[in-house]
C-alpha cells in the first residue's frame, strides 16, 4: 500500500535505507506511524492457538509429524523449528514472503518482540497472519504467537523520556517511572505492571490479535546487571530482581484472566549461567514465585509455562550447566521435569567473549574502504550544517519544530569519527533502526509539508535522502562483510 508524498522521503525502504524520490514517481512505503494508524482501524483477529487446532496443523504435514513437539504443559503442539522475528520488518516484502512460506511449509510457532524493528516485526506477523487467515491458508487456532516486552528503545524510549521529563511525572516509590532501569543512554528496561499493561495493548494492536498465546518478559536480567554496575549491593539487587519478577507474574495472571494472553514466561540469556552468577535468572525461583501467586490469587493453576534461552555448539550451558535444585540439574532438564516449554534462541549465532560467532554462511558483499565511508559521513554532515545555517533560518516553522530539526537532523554529525567504533553488525543495526532513523524520520515529517511550497526545502530533502541512502548502504556492507 502506498501513499502520495510528492516524492519527499517517507521512511525506510526495503533495504533499510531512507527513501527519496524515485524516477518512476512512486512514493515510498507507509511510515511506521501511518502503518500503526491502519492497524488500529482494522478489526482484531479473534481466537487463539488451541490444542486441537495445533494438532490438526501438525497432521497436515505427515512427513514431519515426528518432529512436532508439545510446548511444555500448554497443550499446544508446535513445529520443531520456529520463525524468529528478530530482524524481520513489515516494510520489507521479502520478509513477508518468508513468513508466509514458513507457515505453508509446516512452521506454526512465531517468535517476535515489541522492540524488534521498533514494532515492525509484530506488524509483519499481524499483517501476514490476517492475509493467510482471510484466504483460508491457515486458521488462527493453528498458529502459536509468542511475543515479548521489556525493552524501551525507539518509540518506547521516546515516550518514556518525555513522560519522565514532564512536570507531573510520578516518581513515587514503586511507580512505573521510578522503577525504570536506565541501562544506557538510549536503552531503558522495565517489567513494571503498568509498563507491561501498555506493552501488551500495543503488541495486540500491532499483531492485530485479541490474544497473545505466549507473552515473555524480555531479558529481565537487565535490571540486575544495571544495579550491580550502579553500586547496589549484590544481595539487595538479587532480592529486588526477584521481587520485580514476582510482581510481573502476578500482573500477567490478571492478563490471562482477561483473555489478552494465554501463557507467560521469561526470555533470558542468563538462564544457563552457573548457580553462583549474580545475574543468573533462576528457573527454579521463578517457578516457585508462580506457584505462590497461584495460591495468593486462588487459581486452579498458574500460567508460567514457557522460557527461552540461547543454545548452540558454543553456548551449551542450558544442557551442561547444573544450576537448578542445588546444582543437580540443568535448566532444560528441570524445565522438562516441571512441564515448562523451552524455546531456543541464537541457534545459528553464538556470543563468545562478547563477540558474535556466525554458525551459518551468508553471501559476501563488497567491502568498502573505511576512508570512503568517512568521506560520505563528512559530506552528509556538511549538508546538515549548511541547511541548518541557511535554509532552515529562512522558512516559516514553529520555534519547537525549528529546535527539533536543528538538534535531530544530525545523521552525519552523529557518525563522524564514531561509526568505526561500533562493535558489530547487530550493534549498528540497533543504533541505525532505533536511534538514527527515527530522528531523521521525525525531521522529514516536520519539513515535508513545508517543502510543498518551498522548492529549496524539497531539493534539500531529496538530495539528503539520496546521500543518506548511499552512506547507510556502505556502512551496512562494511559491517556485514566484517561479520
Question: Looking at residue 373, what is its pLDDT?
Answer: 87
Question: Looking at residue 20, what is its pLDDT?
Answer: 32
CB contact at 8 A, 3 and 37: no
Residue listed under C-alpha cell 508466509: 100
Write out the three cell numbers for 139: 486458521
Question: Looking at residue 366, what is its pLDDT?
Answer: 67
Question: Looking at residue 416, what is its pLDDT?
Answer: 85
Strand arrangement of the beta sheet that strand 341-345 belongs to: 83-84, 109-111, 144-149, 212-218, 261-267, 304-310, 341-345
Question: Looking at residue 162, what is its pLDDT?
Answer: 93
Say how far apart CA 84 and CA 364 lie, in whole Å.
Answer: 23
- The pTM for the full model equals 0.72
Say how far apart CA 90 and CA 215 lie, in whole Å.
Answer: 21
Question: Looking at residue 364, what is its pLDDT?
Answer: 64
Write out the three cell numbers for 54: 495445533
Low-confidence ranges of the chain (pLDDT < 50): 1-40
Q: Which residue in 109, 106, 98 sits closest to 143, CA to CA? A: 109
Per-state percent for the chain, helix, strand, coil, to nearest 5: 50, 15, 35
Residue listed under C-alpha cell 556466525: 358
Question: Looking at residue 35, what is its pLDDT?
Answer: 39
Amino acid at each position: 500500500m502506498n501513499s502520495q508524498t510528492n516524492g519527499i522521503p517517507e521512511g525506510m525502504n526495503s533495504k533499510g535505507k531512507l527513501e527519496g524520490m524515485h524516477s518512476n514517481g512512486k512514493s515510498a512505503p507507509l511510515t511506521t506511524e501511518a502503518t500503526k494508524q491502519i492497524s488500529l482501524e482494522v478489526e482484531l483477529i479473534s481466537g487463539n492457538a488451541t490444542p486441537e487446532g495445533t494438532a490438526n496443523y501438525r497432521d497436515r504435514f505427515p512427513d514431519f509429524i515426528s518432529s512436532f513437539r508439545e510446548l511444555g504443559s500448554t497443550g499446544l503442539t508446535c513445529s520443531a523449528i520456529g520463525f524468529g522475528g528478530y530482524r524481520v520488518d513489515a516494510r520489507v516484502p521479502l520478509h513477508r514472503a518468508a513468513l508466509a512460506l514458513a507457515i505453508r511449509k509446516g512452521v506454526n510457532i512465531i517468535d517476535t518482540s515489541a522492540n524488534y524493528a521498533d514494532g515492525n516485526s509484530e506488524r509483519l506477523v499481524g499483517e501476514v497472519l490476517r492475509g493467510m487467515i482471510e484466504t483460508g491458508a491457515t486458521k488462527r487456532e493453528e498458529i502459536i504467537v509468542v511475543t515479548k516486552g521489556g525493552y524501551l528503545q525507539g518509540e518506547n524510549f521516546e515516550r518514556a523520556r518525555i513522560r519522565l521529563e514532564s512536570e507531573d511525572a510520578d516518581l513515587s516509590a514503586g511507580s512505573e517511572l521510578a522503577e525504570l532501569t536506565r541501562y544506557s543512554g538510549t536503552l531503558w528496561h522495565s517489567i513494571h505492571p503498568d509498563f507491561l499493561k501498555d506493552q501488551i495493548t500495543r503488541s495486540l494492536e500491532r499483531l492485530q490479535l485479541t490474544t497473545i498465546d505466549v507473552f515473555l518478559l524480555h531479558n529481565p536480567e537487565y535490571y540486575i546487571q544495571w544495579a550491580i554496575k550502579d553500586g547496589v549491593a549484590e544481595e539487595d539487587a538479587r532480592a529486588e530482581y526477584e521481587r520485580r519478577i514476582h510482581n510481573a507474574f502476578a500482573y500477567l495472571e490478571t492478563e490471562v484472566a482477561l483473555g489478552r494472553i494465554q501463557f507467560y514466561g521469561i526470555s533470558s540469556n542468563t538462564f544457563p549461567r552457573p548457580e553462583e552468577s549474580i545475574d543468573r535468572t533462576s528457573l527454579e525461583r521463578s517457578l516457585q514465585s508462580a506457584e505462590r501467586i497461584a495460591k495468593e490469587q486462588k487459581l486452579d493453576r498458574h500460567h508460567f509455562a514457557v522460557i527461552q534461552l540461547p543454545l548452540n555448539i558454543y553456548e551449551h550451558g542450558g544442557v551442561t550447566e547444573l544450576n537448578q535444585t542445588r546444582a543437580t540439574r540443568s535448566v532444560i532438564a528441570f524445565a522438562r521435569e516441571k512441564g515448562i516449554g523451552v524455546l531456543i534462541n541464537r541457534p545459528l549465532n553464538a556470543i563468545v567473549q562478547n563477540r558474535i560467532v556466525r554458525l551459518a554462511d551468508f553471501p559476501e558483499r563488497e567491502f568498502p574502504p573505511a576512508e570512503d565511508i568517512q568521506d560520505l559521513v563528512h559530506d552528509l554532515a556538511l549538508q546538515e550544517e549548511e541547511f541548518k545555517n541557511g535554509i532552515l533560518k529562512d522558512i516559516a516553522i514553529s520555534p519547537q519544530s525549528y529546535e527539533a530539526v536543528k538538534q535531530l537532523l544530525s545523521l552525519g554529525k552523529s557518525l563522524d569519527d564514531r561509526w568505526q567504533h561500533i562493535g558489530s553488525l547487530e550493534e549498528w543495526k540497533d543504533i541505525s533502526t532505533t536511534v538514527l532513523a527515527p530522528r531523521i524520520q521525525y525531521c522529514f515529517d516536520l519539513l515535508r509539508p513545508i517543502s510543498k511550497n518551498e522548492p529549496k526545502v524539497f531539493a534539500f530533502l531529496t538530495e539528503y535522502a539520496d546521500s543518506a541512502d548511499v552512506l547507510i548502504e556502505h556502512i551496512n556492507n562494511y559491517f556485514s562483510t566484517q561479520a
